[in-house]
Structure 1
Amino acid sequence: MKKQRLVIVGSGSTYTMGMMMSLIEEKDHFPLKDLVFYDIDEKRQERNAKATEILFKERYPELDSFSYTTDKEEAFRDADFVFVQIRTGGLAMRELDEQISLNHGVVGQETCGPGGMAYGLRSIKDMIELVYDIRCYSPEAWILNYTNPAAIVSIALKREFPNDHRLLNICDMPIAIMISYAQILGLDVWDIVPEYFGLNHFGWFTKILDKKGTDHTERLKQLILDNGFKPEDKEIANDVSWQKTFEQARQIMIDFPEFLPNTYLQYYFYPEQMVEKEDPNHTRARQVIEGRQKRVHNLCDRIIANGTAQGEKELHVDIHGVFMIKAAESLAYNLEERFILMVENNGIISNLPAEAMVEVPVILTTNGPKPFSVGEVPTFYKGLIENQYAYEKLVVDGYFGKSYMKLLQALTLNRTVINVTTAKAILDDLIEANKDFWPELQK
């Protein structure tokens, strides 16, 4: 089994330590020769890197080399896989996005509504530059992109790199939901065979099977309705906001019982309710800064100070890392495993635009993803998806065309906004806040 050279881009992320534990967990299935951290924030990267050095000496001595750098060529030369998890503007800009939206009575969230648009417009430029840099030094590397908002980013990357078939956009939300399904059903999550359709953060499970072919869908629905629904992934299980989100997903099932919803649909179905529960002075971004970020930074500081990771109970495998690594395993070794990820539609969902980046089940092979056909989706879901896709496409059109009008049209279409006057006020505030990140727009 070939050992891989893996590069983690955005290695200063608070998710990096969980991914490192996942690499250790999967080292027999995805063996590494070299691991490289790359980040433009040297100080933020260094904390994770020094803790990882200690962790890997203790738990991954087989690794030939580990290094961290801010030099592109040093990072990307001869890479086999590149995992990308960048956040342009950091959590500070996420917080500002959320506050601006909430100050206008609109959902403040990092991937949905105005916050998602703002973050998307910041991400596109850096993602395009990053892919060009990676391709300069490693034309054949697999690029697995986790960067949010994945829906908008995937459209932009497909437009800029239409023939790059080793550039994949992945989101772990479906598998995070499936962990809860597995717990309810008493199954291993990797034994679940899902049927699913939609866009990123905007989709539905139509069936939940197991590898023996048993259909658990109706039993699962009834168990959720009878007993409730809660997050089970270790990274989010104790997070009050995520607990409320899973409770709201149960409400979506009550209102629309046909399919099992992605949790992010709450922002589009109940926008006023979502606004009411948020506090502009203590946004979700602020909760992450005071919660996960503080916890991870303290964890790394303890490991560095003690010179060991032994006894650290907060070190654990998370689905964010395992999902990415298992996808890489299937690509590297032609395992033909089933995953949900984003691909160009091209008839997969027959009554949606061919160029849409849809999120559907695929088989991952050494030649890339092989998607399963979905066929036609019912009118209600088709209408919702077409509206959401029009919003996402207009955001990308607005970026490439530097068009104020396209972005105004996008926000007006978005179900979290609707009102033109509100859309215009939010857009003007976001332009001012993002003047160091967005292209200069033409009215």
Structure 2
Amino acid sequence: MKKQNLVVAGGGSTYTIGMIMSLIAEKENFPLKSITFYDTNEDRQQKVAEATRVILREKYPELESFSYTTDKEKAFTDADFVFVQIRTGGLAMREQDEQIPLQHGVVGQETCGPGGMAYGMRSIGDMIELVKDVRHYAPEAWILNYTNPAAIVAEALRREFNNDNKILNICDMPAAIMVSYAGILGKEVFDLVPEYFGLNHFGWFTKIYDKEGNDHTDTIKNAITKDGFMPEDAEIANDPNWIKTFKQVERMLNDFPEYLPNTYLQYYLYPQEMVDKEEAGNTRARQVINGRQKRVHELCDQIIADQSLENVELEVDIHGRYMIRVAASLAYHNCDTFIVMVENNGIISNLPDDAMVEVPAMLTKQGPKPFSVGPISTFYKGLIEGQLAYEKLVVDAFYENSYEKAMQALTLNRTVVDAPVARQILDDLIEANRDYWPALVARKEREFAIN
């Protein structure tokens, strides 16, 4: 089995330590020759990387090489796989994305609604540049993208690199939900085989089978409606915010019992309730800054100070394991089934061919082989078409520096709907993102001066 050269782009992420522990846990399935971290923030990356060096020394001594860099050529030359988890603007801008909509009575969330639009329009340019850099130094590398908001980023990459068959956009949320299904069934998550359709953060499980072909869908539904639903993945199991989110699945299933929902649908189905439970001074971003980021940085400091792992507890999470199992199936032609984002091309037969849909696919050396879904019924089609139009308009707004397209996008989004409110939020987001959207800022100011 060939050993792979892996690059983690966004090496300073708070998820990186979990990714490293997952690589160690999965090293028999995805053996590595080298790991390289790449990040544009040298200081942030150094802390995580130096802690990683200790972890690898103790847990992965057979690894031939580990390094970290801010140099693109050093990072990407000879790479076989690039895992991408960047956050343009960092958590500081995420906090703005969440606070600004809340000030106008609208959902404040990093991937949904106005916050997702702002984050997406910041992410697109950096993602395009990153892919071009990887292709310059590693033309044949697989690029596995986790960067949020994945639906908007995937649409932009589809337009920019339409003939590049080695870019795959992935989200771990369906897998994190399946971890809880597995807990209900007393099984391991990778023993489950899902049927699923939708867009990223906007989809439904229609069936859950095991590898022997047994249908467990009704068992899961009955367990959720009777006993509720709780997160079980290590990264989110004890997080009060995620516990509330998973509890909403019971509510969604009672209201719409046909399919098992993705947890993110709560923002689109109950937007006012989501607003009412949020505090502008304590958004999810602030909770992450004071919670996971603080915890991870303290853990890294402890590891670096001790130069050992004796005083820390490290866990494997689904975020890393899912990405690695996907990579292994692509690298070694395992033909395993995973939920990924692909161009529709008739998979959901009554949606546009150029939609970036999230569906199960068999992953081979040649790439994903998605399974047909067929036509979907009116309710789901209507919801998806509205969300899809919003996502496409956001990408249009980025490419055209168009205030009008951004305004149309927000007005279409189910978390906003009201046009005057959409305009107020958009104006505030443009002001907050002056350093990231200079062309859009200039165009808006020019057009408003003329009017």
Q: If the TM-score is normalised by the length of the shorter chain, which range does it land in?
A: over 0.9
1:440 deviates by 1.8
Amino acid at match of 2:8: I
1:42 deviates by 0.4
8 Å Cα contact 2:347/2:374 also seen in 1:
yes
Aligned residue number for residue 214 of structure 2: 214
Deviations 1:106-139 (A, max 9, x none): 0000000000000000000000000000000000
Structure 2: distance between partners of 1:78 and 1:316: 30
1:270 deviates by 0.4
SS in 2 for 1:220: helix
8 Å Cα contact 1:24/1:59 also seen in 2:
yes
Amino acid at match of 1:221: K
1:185 deviates by 1.1
Amino acid at match of 2:365: T
1:268 deviates by 0.2
Structure 2: distance between partners of 1:22 and 1:174: 18
8 Å Cα contact 2:302/2:311 also seen in 1:
no
Structure 1: distance between partners of 2:409 and 2:438: 16
Q: In the alignment, is residue 387 of structure 1 matched against residue 386 of structure 2?
A: yes
Structure 2: distance between partners of 1:437 and 1:43: 21
Q: In the alignment, is residue 436 of structure 1 matched against residue 435 of structure 2?
A: yes
Structure 2 stretches lacking a partner, 5+ long: none
The alignment's TM-score, normalised by the length of structure 2, stands at 0.97
Amino acid at match of 1:112: C
Structure 1: distance between partners of 2:11 and 2:86: 8
Please list, as runs of the form range in 1=range in 2, the aligned pairs for 1:335-414 lying within 5 A after superposition.
335-414=334-413
8 Å Cα contact 1:402/1:439 also seen in 2:
no
SS in 2 for 1:281: helix
8 Å Cα contact 2:81/2:144 also seen in 1:
yes
SS in 2 for 1:312: coil
Aligned residue number for residue 256 of structure 2: 256
Please list, as runs of the form range in 1=range in 2, the aligned pairs for 1:39-438 lying within 5 A after superposition.
39-313=39-313, 315-438=314-437
8 Å Cα contact 1:88/1:123 also seen in 2:
yes
Aligned residue number for residue 13 of structure 2: 13
Structure 2: distance between partners of 1:266 and 1:310: 41
- After the TM superposition, which parts of structure 1 deviate over 3 Å for at least 4 consecutive aligned residues? none
8 Å Cα contact 1:196/1:361 also seen in 2:
yes
Number of aligned residue pairs: 442
Structure 2: distance between partners of 1:222 and 1:316: 30
Deviations 1:273-319 (A, max 9, x none): 00000000111000000000000000000000011012422x11111
Amino acid at match of 1:380: F
Amino acid at match of 2:327: A
Larger deviation, residues 68-77 vs 433-442: 433-442
Structure 1: distance between partners of 2:42 and 2:11: 10
Structure 1: distance between partners of 2:48 and 2:31: 21
1:188 deviates by 1.1
8 Å Cα contact 2:249/2:263 also seen in 1:
yes
8 Å Cα contact 1:209/1:215 also seen in 2:
yes
8 Å Cα contact 1:81/1:144 also seen in 2:
yes
Structure 2: distance between partners of 1:439 and 1:148: 21
SS in 2 for 1:440: helix
SS in 2 for 1:417: coil
SS in 2 for 1:206: strand
Structure 2: distance between partners of 1:191 and 1:28: 18
Structure 2: distance between partners of 1:278 and 1:355: 35
The alignment's TM-score, normalised by the length of structure 1, stands at 0.99
1:219 deviates by 1.4
1:439 deviates by 4.7
Deviations 1:407-430 (A, max 9, x none): 000000000000000000000000
SS in 2 for 1:310: coil
Output the aligned Cα RMSD.
Answer: 0.6
Deviations 1:333-369 (A, max 9, x none): 0000000010000000000010000000000000000
Structure 2: distance between partners of 1:60 and 1:120: 36
